[in-house]
Structure formats: C-alpha cells, structure tokens
Structure 1
Amino acid sequence: MRAAVIDLGTNTFHLIIADISDANVQIIYKTNVPVRLGQGRINENIIIPEAFERGVETLKIFKQQIDKYKAQQTVAVATSAVRSATNGKDFVDAVRKNASINIQVIDGDKEAEYIYNGVKATGIINGTSLIMDIGGGSTEFIICDNNKLLWKKSYNIGAARLMQAYFHSDPISEQDKSAIINHLNNELTDLKEACILFKPNHLIGSAGAFETFAGMLLKEDIEIKNIKSASIAFTTYNSLSEKLIASTHAERENMPDLIELRVDMIVIAAILTNHILSMSEIKEISLSTYDLKMGVLYSFAD
C-alpha cells in the first residue's frame, strides 16, 4: 500500500509518502515547509490570518504531490497549534474545502503514542529511556523500555509558546532564563515524579531541535537526513548548549547548520533540554530522526 502522512506541526508542516508492506516502510518522497502556524499569537490560541493562509496554500501543494505519487491512503494529523486555537476548526474546514484533505486533530496522548512508535522503529531504545519531542506548541515526554511504553504526557511548553512568553532579551537574560525555569518547574512536577519512579538513564530527542543539535555537532561524521538515529556526546552537547544560550540573534544567524526557523527557538530548546537533563540526572543522549510522522506510517505496518 502507498500511504501519505501529513504532520501539521506548530512550526513546520511535513509530508511523507511511503510504500508499506509486511512491516516494511520504504519512503519514496518527503518534504517540509516552515509554515509557522503558531506565529505571533499562539499563547492567545489564535492562528493569525497570514499563518492561516500559508497553511492552506502549503496543503494545496502537498495534495498535488499526493496525487502525483498516487497515494492510496492519506492521514493528516494536526497537533498543538490547531487543537488549542479558537479558529482551529475553521482551519480544518478551510483545508477540507480548498485542498481536499481531511485533518485529524489529535490530543497530546495520541501524539505521544505516535512519537513513541516512530522512535521505537529506529531500534535505538536500549534500557529505560526518556523520549522528548520539542514542538512549537507542545513538548511530549515518553518513558519506555525495550518492550513497552511505561508513561507518557504532553505539555503546553513548546518552543514557540515559551519564546513568545519569555524570550524578551538579546542575548537571553538571566531574568528571562529564570522565568522559563520557574515555569518548567511548575509544569513538570509529575514528569519529575515519573523519572524518580522509572529512573530512565537515556534521553532520546525526537527530530526537530535534536536534529539541529546533532547536525551542528556531528556534521563532519554523518548526514542527518540519511540516518535513523545517532549518539550525541554529553559533554559536547553541554558546550554547544552553553554557546547557543549565551549567543546573540546575529551570532546565531551566522552559525553553520542552524536553519532560520530555529535561530531563536534553539535557545529555548537548549534551556528546556538542559532542565530535563538536570532534573533526571541522565548522562546519555541520542537523536531519533523518526518522530510522529514515522510513527503514523509504522502504524499502517502493524
């Protein structure tokens, strides 16, 4: 069967088309567009008109590719930006009318489940692990071992939300950093309790910001787009995160392997990741390039 999956993220829309047979997934086409659906007013739960229009136009183009490759089934899933927006239903209706795509708005639990399925397909889970997927609107955490999912939760602490609420200085000030950390401490009490209970010793970052971290650290050794997973050395990650957090916007703009979409959000991602590493006392970090969209594809193969 040929299937298409669209992941309508808060920052980026992804399209992936694959042939699926007997638990084997062969990707034949993929693309992504930095739609920035959460631009400007995500914390007010509104998709602004410019972002609304970009989203619809992008999905019209995606539909052309889906038709070109003759996909027999299409699944489009929307996450935090659409599910929290007061005009989210209007967006879903506009896409159905103008792009002939039916969007499923999934809750945070389902999002975490798909992320787990995607990461599991890489084979990287070894022992008790904490999977972390930093989105623009939400961040998902999943604790699992080699055999099963143990605990999962989605929090409205995505990079775009935190950036719009707290990132008001350049470089980011101690005051702004403290405000973020205080917010995380208040939001993540049950995650901390879960880490104490299950004792994960491996942090697996699902795509997104972790692809950026890995790309900046491992660029001479691997091509991120050609791998399923990679190890990230704890000490070199710490050095990179300190550099990113201390840098100005202009300095980050000139850093190689840092895409425009993440020039500012990578600071938030580094602060968030550092907080999780400190809270969990984890010293082993890996990247999984498989995330929600791959989890949806592999659900076809089950």
Structure 2
Amino acid sequence: MPEQTTAPAKRIAVMDLGTNTFHLLIAEAGADGFHVIHHQTEPVKIGEGGINKGIIQQAAFTRGIKAMQGFKKHIDAHGATAVRAIATSALRNAANGNDFIAEVKAQAGIEIEIIDGEQEAAFIYEGIKASGVLTDKNALIVDIGGGSVEFIIGNKTQVLWKQSFEIGAARLMDKFHKTDPIPVISIKAMTAYLNLQLAPLFIAAMEHKPTLLIGSSGSFESFAEVIELEKGNPFDLKKTRSYEFDFDDLLGLIERLIKSTHAKRATIKGIIPVRVDMIVTASLLTIYVMQKLGLDDVWMSTYSLKEGVMAGMLR
C-alpha cells in the first residue's frame, strides 16, 4: 500500500499597517483556529510629523517601504500562500497614501488594501471574539490606535453598535501633549474635545449599557505588562490572550503615567519605545471613558485587527 501523506497546513500572512506600528502575523490553520508561526512588529511611525496634516513625511515613507520589504522576505521564507495587508487611519487620510501603496507594490510586491473605519471596527470585533474574552454580557471594546480609535459595543454573539473616530493617540498628542509632563490646562482642553467628539458613543452606551471594558492590544498591553512586572511576576504577551485588570492597579498606573516625564516613562519596563510618549494621551482617553461610562471591570485582549482578519481568512 502506498504511504499516505498529509497535505501541509495552509499558511496565511496578515499585515496591519497602523499609524505607529506595522505588524506582520504569519500563522498556520489548526483545529482550534490558528497557530502563530511568526509575529513581527516594526515601529514605523508612518504618521510622525504629518498625522494631522494629512501627509506621510519622507523619512516615515522610507521607513515604511523598508519595513514592507522586510515583511516580504519573512512571508516568502515561511511559505505563506494567502497574504493580506490592511492599512488604516494614517494611510486612509494621507494625500500621498496612494503613492506609498504604489511604491510598496513596486518594491515589495505586496498589495495594500485601505479599509474604512467601519471595516476596521468589524475586524477588531472578530479579533476580540477569537480571543475568547467576550461573554453574554455587553462589552465596550476600545482599540486605541495612533490615528483612530474604534469603539464597539457587543457580546460573544453580535455587534450592537460600532464606530471609528479620528482621535487616535498620535493625533491627540499632536493637539494637546505639547509640553511634558502634560499640563492640567491641556488635559481640560482634551476632555472638552472628547466630550464633543464622542457624543455618539455616549448615546449608544445609554442604549446598550455595556458592563465591562475590553481594551484591544496596544496601550492596554503596556498597562498589563507594567503592572505585572512591577509586582515581580513574569509576563509574556505572546502567551497571553486576555488579562483582567485590578481596578486600583490600573487607576494607579494611569495616574502615574499622566503625571510623568518622558525620561521617567522611558525607564519603565513594559513600555515599548514607540509607545513612551503616546501612552499619555492613551491613558487620558482610557480613564476618561472608564469614568464617563462608570466602567470598573476592565480587561485586555492581545488579539485585535490582524487576528480578526486571520480568523476571516481561515473561515
């Protein structure tokens, strides 16, 4: 009898091209979803110097091309046969975003898809759902990017409401965090701005009454890592899908970060360099939403947009 051979598992590559960070996730289809083969993060900062001007500056443009060429090498080396590169707020709103997309195709052979805020929120929900953190209770999912912030109200069976707002941490930093530590007058100005911008969220929250907040990757990963490392506990984000915050721990850390200087933040283990400054406006936004909606049950999911895209491709 001839020996039976098993077909190799399908390998998929997903890239999430954010305002601060470009992510590459290569995974293999498995019985329980997917098994990560390679995960890479590049601090491209594509929005640096131009996020609120609607332009990708030359240095950021060059960094982005170099990162995509590097991703292409890993995709080929790992034999990924299905590839998607998803671009969000910074490329969506940049006047020269299409130039960047054309250059990536020419120099790295990767086709980039620009998605709108609604699609972005839908992918984030799918990623959070795949992490297993959702329950029957209504949750407010918050994904703080550099360019945009996605808010989704839903549970493990459905999305009840979702919206993307162009108020990401890099945009807020550019508008309000001009001196360090951030002065009280700037915090008040940012609060007034959020009151206006997030009016649709408050209306949706009154209707759907979320009882917990789930922070999607990004700054929430940093919050969790800093808290655990300061307690002397080992913490590996690659082995963590979700994390439940102690409310007092989270509140205490956020207050410290808001009052801190760049030099102080740079010494805190658990905060990656690309997040050292943006974590201040991300912290302010987090505490603002928690207090405004009275949410003290807070979780973090390491799964986000790229895992949502991956889950969809595997289906």
Per the normalisation by structure 2, the TM-score is 0.94
User: SS at 2:187's partner residue?
Assistant: helix
2:158 maps to 1:145: no
2:76 maps to 1:67: yes
User: SS at 2:235's partner residue?
Assistant: coil
Root mean square deviation of aligned Cα: 1.0
Q: Deviations over 1:7-49 (max 9, x none)?
A: 1010000001111255621111111100000001110100000
Structure 1 stretches lacking a partner, 5+ long: none
- Residue 262 of structure 1, aligned match among 275, 278, 303: 275
Post-superposition offset of 1:301: 2.3
Which residue does the alignment assign to 2:113? 104
Which residue does the alignment assign to 1:245? 258
Q: How many residues align?
A: 302
Which residue does the alignment assign to 2:186? 176
Partner Cα separation in structure 2 for residue 221 and residue 99 of structure 1: 38
- Residue 43 of structure 2, aligned match among 12, 34, 49: 34
Which residue does the alignment assign to 1:285? 298
Task: Note closer, same or farther for the CA distance 1:286–1:60 as it changes in structure 2 (3 Å cut).
Answer: same
Post-superposition offset of 1:240: 0.5
Post-superposition offset of 1:225: 2.0
Which residue does the alignment assign to 1:296? 309
Post-superposition offset of 1:106: 0.4
Identity across the alignment (%)? 43
Partner Cα separation in structure 2 for residue 283 and residue 253 of structure 1: 28
Which residue does the alignment assign to 1:128? 138
User: SS at 1:44's partner residue?
Assistant: coil
Q: Which moved more, 1:215-224 or 1:26-35?
A: 215-224
The answer to whether the 8 A contact 1:23-1:298 is kept is no
User: SS at 1:28's partner residue?
Assistant: strand
Post-superposition offset of 1:138: 0.3
Partner Cα separation in structure 1 for residue 25 and residue 62 of structure 2: 22
User: SS at 1:30's partner residue?
Assistant: strand
Structure 2 stretches lacking a partner, 5+ long: 1-9
Which residue does the alignment assign to 1:209? 219
Post-superposition offset of 1:221: 4.9
Partner Cα separation in structure 1 for residue 49 and residue 149 of structure 2: 19
Partner Cα separation in structure 1 for residue 201 and residue 186 of structure 2: 23
Q: Which amino acid aligns with 2:107?
A: N
- Residue 192 of structure 1, aligned match among 193, 198, 202: 202
2:16 maps to 1:7: yes
Q: Which moved more, 1:209-218 or 1:15-24?
A: 15-24
Q: Which moved more, 1:248-257 or 1:58-67?
A: 248-257
Q: Which moved more, 1:19-28 or 1:184-193?
A: 19-28
